[in-house]
Structure 1
Amino acid sequence: MTSFSRQDVQRILQISSRQLQGWEKAGLISPRETYTFQDLGQLRTLRSLREEDVSAASIRHSITAMQAVAGLSNPLQQASLVRSGSRLAFRVDGAMMDPIRRQLMFDFERIENDATVRTSVRPLRRVDQASRGIQELFVTAVQAEESGDKHRAISIYEEMLRLDPDYAPGYINLGTIHFHLKQYTRAEELYRTATRKDPGYVLAFFDLGNVLDELDRPDESIAAYQRAVELAPRYADAHYNLALAFERKGEKRAALRHWQAYARLDKRGPWAEHARGQIRKLLESEKLTIAARAEKYIAPKGGGVALQLVPFIG
């Protein structure tokens, strides 16, 4: 397989070393020294989005949401990313999805390019004014959050939730602001509300697990992560956090299962390497434990070389 160095990537895509490092620090791509042809496609998509002034936070949030909702390990490679107004959507399996709102979207571009489908499409129901207002508030709040004006973002999210108390993504975003402000109790309340408003919202359970972990409530944290994995078995980050949580509790075999699951889903990058390292350590530790507990053996009569295990009573 053809590989490209960092210098090759910078030359081909006409980006600077600082840009590439910035994407890595923002969590949009994993740091590495060589790239595949598929990686180039992913990097081209990031470059285009950044050129259109789509913020790194918006891209990262959309990718994380798509991983949770659709179970994709790398949405930028496994789906087509589409700019939809101020938000990002993905085309996958013949449908277009807004992962943050967890909604399927009407794909006008595909319809316009498909005469067969175009002849059979019925007009969409007009979006009511209240729904449009909620969407506009959500976009405004996200923009305020990305600009660093957290207090204004909080105010807008709270107004939005007064208008639509069932809008789960609003609770998630508001909870995340409080989480970063280290207001963990308030963040927990908001995440729990999101899980009640939408019991199938994977990110709500994942974020709830994170804040419970910060509050040093490991059993509750593990339960939240496990629910996220039940809803989206290919959600790599939930497996990673579960592995860490089980390790902290000393439950090595449970941790091993989730490190292995993460390693299957994320095969490259620093977190994948860390997962593989933990797998090696746990397997080696398990071997030593088995050896320490092994029953004493006694050679059989007749001088044979076979070993026979017998219970050892110390």
Structure 2
Amino acid sequence: MPLAGQTLHLVGRIQGLTRRRLEQLVRSRGGRLATRPSNRVTIVAFGHSAVAHALDDGRVKLPPGLPATAALISENVLRRHLGLLEPPPEIERGMGRTEVERLAGLSPNLLSCLVLFDVLEPVDERFAYRDLVAAREAARLLKRGVALGDVLIAAVALRRRGSHLAEARLTEGPSGALVREIGDQLAELSGQLTMRLEQTARSLDELLVEAEEATERGDLAAAESLYTTAMRADAADPVLPFNLGNVFQSQGRAPEAKIAWQIAVARDPAFAEAWYNLALAAEDETQTDLAVAEYRRAVQAQPDYADAHFNLALLLTKLDRCAEALAIWERFLELEPSSRHASTAQKAIALCRMRLQQERKDPSLRSG
């Protein structure tokens, strides 16, 4: 289902995306991101972090206020709608839903839940053999008494580490945690991953809500503690160190803020907002070449990032690098023709053109 004309509500989080960026992406596809549940919502997307909404019988709890008629989609489906994920591989998908349910021994609700959390990824309701293998492994664990939420958490953890439930045989270890069976040995899901750690991830959404609320009420010490805990629970999501860096910045702890934003871009080199904050910090320290480079990283990562274009163009103009600034000013006006900064951009364009014309007449005026 395309997003154009739709109102989307997100349950949980999309790893690596701030809400600001998600809202921009949805809007660029012609849709609208709902700030809260309402009867106007037409699509409900479930992030991988929202497994606590899955009941053991496969039904999924919807937040109050959402219409029962809304379409439910998974995190990966949403990512594909937003252009953040490649289409599913072109492999043979010869099985229908009823056949997979029968061969795996799963109810329709359980199969739908596995699809909603991307354990299975059908295309047009057609399933591949790997989907059947993953469905059978999930069914085996469920019959042994493993909670559905734990199966979903383990499947998501495996996918984030380049594996898949179809490629792993899981069992409960001596501590009760799900571990992998490799020959006659038991191994954790990935070196350091245990269900104890993933159990924290199950409540990560609640942790982040508490951190955001602490930030809003000015309790920055609490926000710092909560974001630090969240980073220990999820060592991959770049939004967590990004938010922690913002907390440090609000506390006047600029060096620590920079480190946190650097962790964010190390986790995701295409995290435009973190590059933008690093560029601002470099400008504050009069490291202009570094600031230019980091603004460029921001606009490369997010070509529609108007604020980054504006700041980069303004800095290049101040540095008398008008040939570089001119194209960026023009791009800013394409992005934000009605912005409150549009008049500044128009004046800067006129100034840059005048300087370039003067340089053509008198090459000695060229900077550098």
Would the TM-score normalized by the shorter structure come out above 0.5? yes
1:83 is matched by which residue type in structure 2? Answer: T
Aligned counterparts of 2:225 and 2:219: Cα–Cα separation in 1: 10
Maintained 8 Å contact 1:63/1:76: no
The question of whether the paired residues in 1 share the 8 Å contact of 2:322 and 2:355 is answered with: no
Equivalence for 1:254: 324
Q: Does 1:230 pair with 2:303?
A: no
Aligned residue for 1:62? 19
Q: Per-residue CA shift, 1:33-59, capped at 9, x if unaligned? A: xxxxxxxxxxxx9xxxxxxxxxxxxxx
For the Cα contact (< 8 Å) 1:179–1:211, is it kept in 2?
no
Match of 1:83 among 29, 35, 44: 35
**CA distance change for structure 1 residues 276 and 95 in 2, over 3 Å: closer, same or farther?**
farther
Structure 2 distance, partners of 1:131, 1:173, is 17
Match of 1:194 in 2: 264
Q: Secondary structure at the match of 2:304?
A: coil
Q: Measure the CA separation in 2 of the matches of 1:233 and 1:95.
A: 27
How far apart are the structure 2 equivalents of 1:97 and 1:287?
55
CA 1:95–1:268: 2 relative to 1, 3 Å: farther
Closer/same/farther in 2, CA of residues 111 and 223 from structure 1, 3 Å limit: farther
Q: CA deviation at 1:134?
A: 1.6
CA shift at 1:64, angstroms? Answer: 5.3
Identity across aligned pairs (percent)? 24
TM-score, structure 1 as length reference: 0.58
2:69 aligned partner: 112
Rounded to whole Å, the distance in 2 between the matches of 1:189 and 1:201 is 15
Residues in 1 aligned to 2:71 and 2:262: alpha-carbon distance in whole angstroms: 43
What is the distance in 2 between the residues matched to 1:221 and 1:254? 15
The offset of 1:211, in angstroms, is: 1.6
- Residues 1:239 and 1:227: Cα distance change in structure 2 (over 3 Å): same
Post-superposition CA distance 1:112-146 (Å, at most 9, x none): 3469xxx9782234454432222211111011101
Q: Partners in 2 of 1:235 and 1:140 — Cα distance? A: 28
1:276 aligns to 2:346 (yes or no)? yes
The structure-2 alpha-carbon separation of the partners of 1:243 and 1:114, relative to structure 1 and needing over 3 Å to count, comes to closer
The 3-state SS of whatever aligns with 1:122 is helix
Task: Provide the rounded CA distance (Å) in 1 between the counterparts of 2:224 and 2:262.
Answer: 18
CA distance in 1, matches of 2:260, 2:225: 14
- Equivalent residue, structure 2, for 1:147: 217
**Cα distance in 1 between the residues matched to 2:297 and 2:253:** 24
Distance 2:22 2:257 in 1: 18
The 1:285–1:97 alpha-carbon spacing in structure 2 relative to 1, beyond 3 Å, is farther
Whole-Å separation in 1 of the counterparts to 2:203 and 2:293: 36
Assess if the C-alpha contact under 8 Å between 1:188 and 1:212 holds in 2.
no
Aligned CA distance change for structure 1 residues 228 and 76 (closer, same or farther; 3 Å): closer
Quote the offset at 1:250 in angstroms: 2.2
Segments of structure 1 that go 5 or more residues without pairing to the other structure are 1-44, 46-60, 99-105, 295-314
Shift of 1:62: 3.4
Per-residue CA shift, 1:158-211, capped at 9, x if unaligned?
Answer: 122223233311111111122233322111100010111122322222222222
Question: Structure 2: where are the runs of 5+ without partners?
Answer: 1-6, 8-17, 48-59, 73-95, 98-110, 118-148, 154-198
Larger relative contact order (CA 8 Å, sep ≥ 6): 1
1:185 to 234, 255, 261: 255
Q: Which amino acid in structure 1 is aligned with residue 341 of structure 2?
A: W
> Contact 1:194 / 1:204 at 8 angstroms: preserved in 2?
yes
Distance in 2 (CA, whole Å) between partners of 1:65 and 1:241 is: 22
Asked if 2 retains the 8 angstrom alpha-carbon contact of 1:191 and 1:204, the reply is yes
Aligned twin of 1:308: none
Deviation larger for 157-166 or 262-271: 157-166
**CA RMSD of superposed structures (Å):** 3.5
Deviations 1:271-302 (A, max 9, x none): 122111211111122223323349xxxxxxxx
CA distance in 2, matches of 1:289, 1:189: 41
Contact 1:144/1:153 (8 A) holds in 2 = yes
Q: Note if contact 1:184-1:214 (Cα within 8 Å) is conserved in structure 2.
A: no
Partners of 2:44 and 2:70 within 8 A in 1: no
Counterpart AA for 1:122:
S
Normalized per residue, the structure richer in helix is 1
CA distance in 2, matches of 1:266, 1:122: 42
